[in-house]
Amino acid sequence: MGSSQDWCLQCGAGAPGSLDAGGPSWRSAATILVATGILVLGAAAAAYAALSKEGAHKPRPVTVAVAPPPAPVTPVPTTPITPTPTTPGVLTPTPKVPVTPSANPLFTGSAKPPKIPLTAPTPKSSSTTTTPSNESSGTTTPSPSTKSSGGTNPEHLPAAIVLDTNAATTYNPYGYPASEFGDPSLAIDGDTSTAWTAQVNPAVAPKMAEGLVIDLKTARRLAVVGMVTSTPGMSVQVYGANGHTLPASITDPAWVQLSSYLVENKRSKHIKLRDSTKAFRYVTLWISKAPAASVGTAPDRVPPTHVAVNELELFPAA
């Protein structure tokens, strides 16, 4: 081994003072290294065993609250609103057409006119009559005294029914021109100086076929109809009906005759109705003839221009 060598290249022995010079010191170092390696391997095996245990690597479960989905909204079907053709309680005016021989039932050769008697039957006169017994008190009350023409004593009448301002309407089932009629509200305004009027057609005078109807809105029991006229002598009848609309003509079975055929020769008249136990919504004063005294053939006499109803009142049954 040369002077500059620390190790023998043949046997591996170290020169004096070298690392191997201390003898077994290299063995101690090797021992430490081996022990350290064993400890490292043991730690690695322990870590692997800990990681490989069941559930050791599972993450902690996290609970997340989820809002429930909104309930489905079912669309509500809508019903279309259709306009009502007529309003209850309001009378629809009858369309007016010109008077022609083909449209007017009073002309010869046209449709048959309404069957209205031309002679008034003579009603039985009596001083008093007894009305049906009062259900609430069980007593009977004598009715107002009647006259031969169907009138009653106004002193015994109850208060007249208060009517709406639009309760009166012209009843014109045969379509005479609207210009031949006056304002029907003037017959229920409480003023006897105003009147509803109906023109008399000279071609068929004294025949007439129109009237004045009162709509009570609801059915009422009636006992008397009061009338004031500035054209006394005209022939009238009283009819009653029910339903939502007026009957089409005066000959419609829906109309119930409430009075006999009367010739009213007085300016003021109270007409007693036949049956006060039945209730009616519509009450019509039907005019079938103009005053006969006003219709003449002499050249100097002019046929009446109109008939008038100044006031019309309805009195309830007791």
Q: Which residues of 47-84 are buried (b: 16+ CB within 10 A; e: fewer)?
A: eeeeeeeeeeeeeeeeeeeeeeeeeeeeeeeeeeeeee
Residue % of the chain over a pLDDT of 90: 40
Question: pLDDT value at position 35?
Answer: 87
Tokens coding 124 = 């039985």
Closest CA to 171 of 307, 305, 285: 285
Q: Domain 154-316: which CATH class?
A: mainly beta
Average pLDDT over residues 5-21: 73
pLDDT at 58: 56
Among 7-11, 71-75, 98-102, 113-117, name the most confident range: 7-11
- Residue 94, both tokens: 């009858």
Closest CA to 275 of 158, 88, 81, 131: 131
pLDDT digits (tens, 9 = 90+) for 237-285: 999 999 999 999 999 999 999 999 888 888 999 999 988 899 999 999 9
* pLDDT band (50, 70, 90) for residue 210: very high
pLDDT tens sequence across 134-189: 333 333 333 333 333 445 555 678 899 999 999 999 999 999 999 999 999 999 99
Q: Is the dihedral of CA 153, 118, 96, 173 positive or negative?
A: positive
pLDDT for position 66: 57
Measured in whole angstroms, the distance separating CA 218 from the mean position of its chain's CA atoms is 16
Tell me, what's the pLDDT at 45?
86
pLDDT band of residue 79 (cuts 50, 70, 90) is: low
Averaged confidence pLDDT in the chain: 74
- Residue pLDDT, tens place only, 85-109: 544 444 454 444 444 444 444 544 4
